[in-house]
């Protein structure tokens, strides 16, 4: 349903028939919803798969992406999210259809001209993920840049981040994460934004933390216990059947003997 914002002479927002209206970078846009009845070609199938895969990462990261690519689209008719899709679809995917996946080391979540983080690293610490970076040869004009850090949890397909963290001169920053996500696989990214938000750096892949798996010793012990129980149960079953069979066989044998005696009994002749 379309809505008139600002009265009868205002802009239309939403869907009217096969038309969609919206505002992009201050400009009113109206477009027609396309619909194709043609069968999908292999190239179109591959493109659809690429969009699905890249959106599985970028969609949960939407708020970070909007800030990270905001400056890159100023003065254009593109939006930040579409710019991020265009870059990462071209540069951060690997494999051939239908086995397309993300190369997390090549993902970009912010784009700009500010100096990038030098040799960033991550570590799991109490309360969250600690980001560190090299501050050697840091110039005064970049010391007050703020860290933008993000962690993507590949299993749950969620992100946690902050957009204005520690100063670049501090050399480290802590991102607090939910305890429910602490054992999942993590992919981390860092960039810097000028303190007045007028410049931003390209993001840099800060590293990965693997998922925490169950302890093998506990798993084996549990498996051994179940196996032992199954063996014991299987060992008991034949014995019970055997006893029942023997008991049943003994009763049948006695009955047969009694019938045989009656049939073979010799009666004296009448006098």
pLDDT in tens, the chain (271 residues): 566 676 655 677 777 777 877 776 667 777 777 777 788 899 999 999 999 999 999 999 999 999 999 999 999 989 999 999 999 999 999 999 999 999 999 999 999 999 999 999 999 999 899 999 999 999 999 999 999 999 999 999 999 999 999 999 999 999 999 999 999 999 999 999 999 999 999 999 999 999 998 777 655 455 555 555 555 555 555 555 544 544 545 566 676 666 566 555 555 555 5
Interatomic CA distance for residues 188 and 109, integer angstroms: 10
Is the residue at 160 inside a domain? yes
Is the residue at 11 inside a domain? yes
Interatomic CA distance for residues 205 and 163, integer angstroms: 16
Interatomic CA distance for residues 190 and 150, integer angstroms: 6
CB 128 within 8 A of CB 166: no
CB 77 within 8 A of CB 127: no
Instruction: Write the CA distances from 157 to 59, 154, 187, integer angstroms.
Output: 9, 5, 11
Neighbours of 192 (CB within 10 A): 28
Please indicate, yes or no, whether residues 48 and 70 belong to a single structural domain of this protein: yes
pTM: 0.72
Please indicate, yes or no, whether residues 19 and 120 belong to a single structural domain of this protein: no
Q: What is the CATH number of the domain that holds 40?
A: 2.60.40.10
Please indicate, yes or no, whether residues 3 and 114 belong to a single structural domain of this protein: no
Q: Which of 209, 224, 245 is the last residue of a domain?
A: 209
Please indicate, yes or no, whether residues 185 and 52 belong to a single structural domain of this protein: yes
Q: Which of 158, 174, 209 is the last residue of a domain?
A: 209
Is the residue at 141 inside a domain? yes
Is the residue at 112 inside a domain? yes
Report the pLDDT value the prediction gives residue 30, as an integer from 0 to 100: 79
Please indicate, yes or no, whether residues 88 and 142 belong to a single structural domain of this protein: yes
Interatomic CA distance for residues 253 and 217, integer angstroms: 55
Is the residue at 168 inside a domain? yes
Please indicate, yes or no, whether residues 1 and 49 belong to a single structural domain of this protein: no
CB 64 within 8 A of CB 109: yes
Report the pLDDT value the prediction gives residue 138, as an integer from 0 to 100: 95
Q: Which residues contact 46 (CB under 8 A, 6 or more apart)?
A: 96, 97, 100
Please indicate, yes or no, whether residues 64 and 9 belong to a single structural domain of this protein: no
Q: Which of 158, 190, 209 is the last residue of a domain?
A: 209
Tokens of 246: 């023997």
Q: Catalogue the long-range contacts made by 122-130 (C-beta closer than 8 Å, 24 or more residues apart).
A: 122/186, 122/188, 122/206, 122/207, 122/209, 124/182, 124/209, 125/174, 127/174, 127/176, 128/174, 128/175, 128/176, 128/177, 129/174, 129/175, 129/177, 129/186, 129/188, 129/209, 130/172, 130/173, 130/174, 130/175
Please indicate, yes or no, whether residues 158 and 196 belong to a single structural domain of this protein: yes
Please indicate, yes or no, whether residues 27 and 46 belong to a single structural domain of this protein: no
Please indicate, yes or no, whether residues 196 and 167 belong to a single structural domain of this protein: yes
Instruction: Provide the 3-class DSSP secondary structure of residue 268.
Output: coil
Is the residue at 256 inside a domain? no
Is the residue at 166 inside a domain? yes
Interatomic CA distance for residues 216 and 219, integer angstroms: 5
Please indicate, yes or no, whether residues 103 and 16 belong to a single structural domain of this protein: no
Please indicate, yes or no, whether residues 53 and 163 belong to a single structural domain of this protein: yes
Report the pLDDT value the prediction gives residue 20, as an integer from 0 to 100: 76
**Which strands sit side by side in the sheet containing 172-176, from one edge to the other?**
121-125, 128-132, 172-176
Is the residue at 234 inside a domain? no
Q: Count, in order, helices (H) and strands (E) of the chain.
A: 4, 13
Q: Into how many domains does the chain fold?
A: 2
For residue 2, what are the domain limits?
Answer: 1-35
């Amino acid at each position: 349903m379309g809505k008139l914002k600002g009265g009868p002479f205002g802009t239309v927002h939403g869907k009217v028939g096969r038309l969609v209206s919206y505002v992009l970078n201050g400009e009113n846009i109206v477009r027609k919803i396309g619909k194709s009845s043609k069968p999908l070609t292999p190239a179109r199938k591959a493109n659809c798969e690429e969009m699905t895969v890249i959106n599985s990462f970028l969609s949960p990261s939407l708020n970070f992406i909007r800030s990270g690519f905001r400056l890159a689209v100023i003065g254009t008719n593109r939006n930040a999210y579409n710019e991020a899709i265009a870059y990462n679809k071209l540069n951060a995917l690997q494999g051939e259809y239908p086995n397309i996946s993300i190369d997390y080391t090549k993902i970009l979540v912010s784009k700009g001209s500010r100096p990038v983080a030098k040799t960033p690293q991550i570590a799991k610490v109490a309360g969250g993920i600690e980001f560190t970076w090299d501050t050697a040869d840091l110039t005064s004009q970049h010391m007050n840049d703020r860290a933008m850090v993000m962690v993507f949890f590949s299993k749950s397909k969620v992100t946690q981040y902050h957009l204005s963290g520690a100063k670049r001169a501090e050399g480290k920053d802590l991102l607090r994460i939910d305890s429910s996500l602490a054992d999942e696989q993590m992919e981390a990214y860092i960039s810097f934004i000028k303190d007045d938000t007028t410049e931003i750096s390209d993001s840099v892949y800060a590293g990965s933390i693997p998922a925490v798996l169950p302890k093998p010793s506990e798993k084996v012990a549990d498996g051994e216990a179940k196996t032992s129980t199954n063996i014991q149960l299987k060992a008991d079953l034949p014995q019970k059947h055997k006893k029942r069979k023997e008991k049943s066989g003994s009763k049948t044998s006695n009955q047969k003997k009694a019938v045989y005696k009656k049939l073979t009994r010799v009666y004296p002749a009448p006098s």
